[in-house]
Structure 1
Amino acid sequence: MPLLELAARFMRPLLAWIEATPVHVLLVCFILFILLGLACFWLTYYRLQLFVLLHLVAPKPRPVIPSEKTYITSSPSGKPTTARQLPCWYDRWLAERRLQEQKHVRPQEAYPAPDAGSIEPAELRLSVVFPAYNEEDRILPTLEEAVEYLDKHIGRSTTAKGPFSPSSRRHQRGHSSAAKSNAEPGGYEILIINDGSKDKTVEVALDFAHKHDLHDILRVVTLVKNRGKGGGVTHGLRHVRGEYVLFADADGASRFSDVSKLIEGCEEVIDGSFRGVAIGSRAHLVGSEAVVKRSALRNFLMRSFHLVLTILTPPATSRIRDTQCGFKLFSRESLPHIVPYMHAEGWIFDIEMLMLAESAPATPVLGSDGGVIGTSPGIKVAEVPIEWHEVGGSKLNVIQDSIKMAVGLAVLRASWMMGVYRRRLT
């Protein structure tokens, strides 16, 4: 039989080698073979144990409660409105993605470039997301600074075209899979994500909105159960309507007018699919009075965390000098490649956002004439120096939260490497 002949053909040389080999050499080979087998077995066993352990400890965001998809705002009467439904590009994206998976359509067939990057057009120029937890004493100056700047440089009309207009680079680029209108959206919105505050954060924000006639411009979304800063930001990003989306800390530590620098930085790195990210950076302040006045312990922990970050994160993310600054801006088209895959809801969420941007699907690179000259993997991130100052009342416990962040980063990185987290529906 051909099969037996084939087996014999391979066995004859092996048997001849065994007969010609000294017994002690065969014994050594046998022992090495057993050791190699045991090593493979234990490696597989421990990988399986690690995989199961990561499944148990890796963060898994809780489902959204229906009331968390609503908002309240101020009214001319001075009383808060009843709950209104939030717009949600994420729900539409999720429905399209599920339909795509049910039909077993490959992403590259459903969306030419890049994968699963569908998002409805912007209605406004800029969306600003402020995550807030017990911020009644700090949020008012932040809102005053933000609204003063936004009114001056953007305006409230959804059709107005102010001096804040993005550079022509974004609106003159051609892209066959995304027909961009020449008309730029105007106006802005402010989303305050109240992360289960127990103080008067909501009342302070709505009173400010009433005094400044920000009816339906400033919206307050209340999370029934506290998620953490990352969870609040992610929730807010699911409901934005802006062409650009900024999230900023409610304490006002960053100078709000630096949003114009982030817009310019985002424009510099934006790709052929209009994806780009710009992040505020305080790295240039190292050695300045603002940093030197910090305790030696806090500065030591900051440097130690950055070392861990460099070791555990992929190349592009590890080169970023300040990942934790709460002042980051995204182009609208970058959101579907980041927001749906977020898991971290604590302080470490910034790093997951940056890693997701780095690992996003490739997109065409366009030349000055609009022609495709190649492809570029990932979403480029611009690190932009901004003005920053220390604000009292921080909820960060330096020692405890530094340890949590280091452990959280290790779990996060291992979960992505081991396949516990993947670019799939969550």
Structure 2
Amino acid sequence: MAMNETNAGGVRRRSVEIVVPVYNEAHVLADSIGRLHAYLEESFPFPFRITVADNASTDGTWDAATELTLRLPHVHAVHLEAKGRGRALKQVWADSTADVVAYMDVDLSTGLEGFLPLVAPLLSGHSDLAIGSRLHRQSDVVRGAKREFISRSYNLLLKAGLAARFSDAQCGFKAVRTDVFRALAPHIEDTAWFFDTELLVLAQRNRLRIHEVPVDWTDDPDSRVDIVRTAVDDLKGMRRMLHRTVTGRTRIAVPRRTSTPQVPAARKTSEVLPIGANASSHLEYAS
């Protein structure tokens, strides 16, 4: 079903765009996106689109991504000239014409069965943001002791330093209402890994409703994350956010929840989108 179609009751169905940021992932991209596409086609009840966001890869990732757009009908791709997961998400999410935008890591460490519970509260208008939480008491997580310690320590720092009420800022499994993200986006400064935390802190400071979903999660042994550098950057980001909070610069005019959020209708296309293209005129959704 396309964005401008309605259901039997005359109401336009909500849609979701799932972004998968990648950097030098040519060796796993086809398998991961193929599995994600097949799962959503089989079991996801809402119109969807998958966008591969290539973060200035230097291997064959872009070639693999464009090949997928030719082979799988609901996969699209964009290419960025500079690295940064936050930069990729900010660009694609802000351009999206879906009602809800989401992202997940290319390794699909998070069980896909959690995706519908993640986005359903946003599509219904009940919540504003949703995050998968590996620290939820009902989550089933398989990972090493070192990464478990780092994750829990980071979230304790967020609670102590920024009074965070969310439990897992760094899990690569999140979604947000598109209109809410567009309001928050100009105020998000980080372009890398702290992007998630900054988004969540701004949402909390503006009394937006954050929904948490327990997830099944298996650590990826091939993860490219530089843990030490990321930790240092996160601490710098926390200091910056604390200063913004103290000076009152986290208050933003944001759209409030409604049962009938509206976004522009989309037209169908099979094109691969270059970064910066007008997404409202180049968009196709699966149903």
Normalised to the residue count of structure 1, the TM-score between the two structures is 0.52
Give the structure 1 partner of residue 274 of structure 2.
none
Q: 1:333 to 1:339 in 2, by over 3 A?
A: same
CA distance in 2, matches of 1:194, 1:123: 29
Within the candidate set 222, 234, 237, 1:408 is matched to 237
CA distance in 1, matches of 2:25, 2:40: 21
Within the candidate set 22, 38, 61, 1:148 is matched to 38
**Paired residues of 1:138 and 1:252 also in contact (CA < 8 A):** no
Higher relative contact order (CA 8 A, sep 6+): 2
Paired amino acid for 1:252: L
Task: Give ranges in structure 2 of 5+ residues lacking alignment.
Answer: 1-11, 254-287
Secondary structure in structure 2 of the residue aligned to 1:137: helix
Give the structure 1 partner of residue 120 of structure 2.
264
CA distance in 1, matches of 2:181, 2:228: 33
Secondary structure in structure 1 of the residue aligned to 2:216: coil
Q: How does 1:222-233 map onto structure 2 within 5 Å?
A: 222-226=79-83, 228-233=84-89
Q: 1:379 to 1:420 in 2, by over 3 A?
A: closer
Aligned length: 242
Q: 1:286 to 1:198 in 2, by over 3 A?
A: farther
Identity %: 23
CA distance in 2, matches of 1:289, 1:225: 32
The reply to whether residue 305 of structure 1 matches residue 154 of structure 2 is yes
The reply to whether residue 138 of structure 1 matches residue 28 of structure 2 is yes
Give the structure 1 partner of residue 57 of structure 2.
197
The reply to whether residue 208 of structure 1 matches residue 75 of structure 2 is no
Residue 139 of structure 1 deviates from its aligned partner by 2.1
Residue 123 of structure 1 deviates from its aligned partner by 8.9
The reply to whether residue 355 of structure 1 matches residue 209 of structure 2 is no
Within the candidate set 63, 75, 80, 1:218 is matched to 75
Summarize deviations over 1:114-166 as a string: whole Å, max 9, x none.
Answer: xxxxxxxx996111111111111222222112211222245xxxxxxxxx25x
Secondary structure in structure 1 of the residue aligned to 2:212: strand
Aligned CA RMSD, in angstroms, stands at 2.7
Summarize deviations over 1:400-419 as a string: whole Å, max 9, x none.
Answer: 32232122221232234336
CA distance in 2, matches of 1:250, 1:417: 36
**Paired residues of 1:192 and 1:220 also in contact (CA < 8 A):** yes
**Paired residues of 2:54 and 2:61 also in contact (CA < 8 A):** yes
Q: 1:124 to 1:196 in 2, by over 3 A?
A: farther
Task: Give ranges in structure 1 of 5+ residues lacking alignment.
Answer: 1-121, 155-163, 166-186, 361-377
Q: Which is higher, the Rg of structure 1 or of structure 2?
A: 1
Summarize deviations over 1:70-102 as a string: whole Å, max 9, x none.
Answer: xxxxxxxxxxxxxxxxxxxxxxxxxxxxxxxxx
Secondary structure in structure 1 of the residue aligned to 2:32: helix
CA distance in 2, matches of 1:136, 1:384: 30
Give the structure 2 partner of residue 326 of structure 1.
172
Give the structure 1 partner of residue 130 of structure 2.
278
The reply to whether residue 248 of structure 1 matches residue 104 of structure 2 is yes
Summarize deviations over 1:255-311 as a string: whole Å, max 9, x none.
Answer: 22321111334367x45xxx52111111147996713xx14x433333322221111
Paired amino acid for 2:155: H
Secondary structure in structure 2 of the residue aligned to 1:199: coil
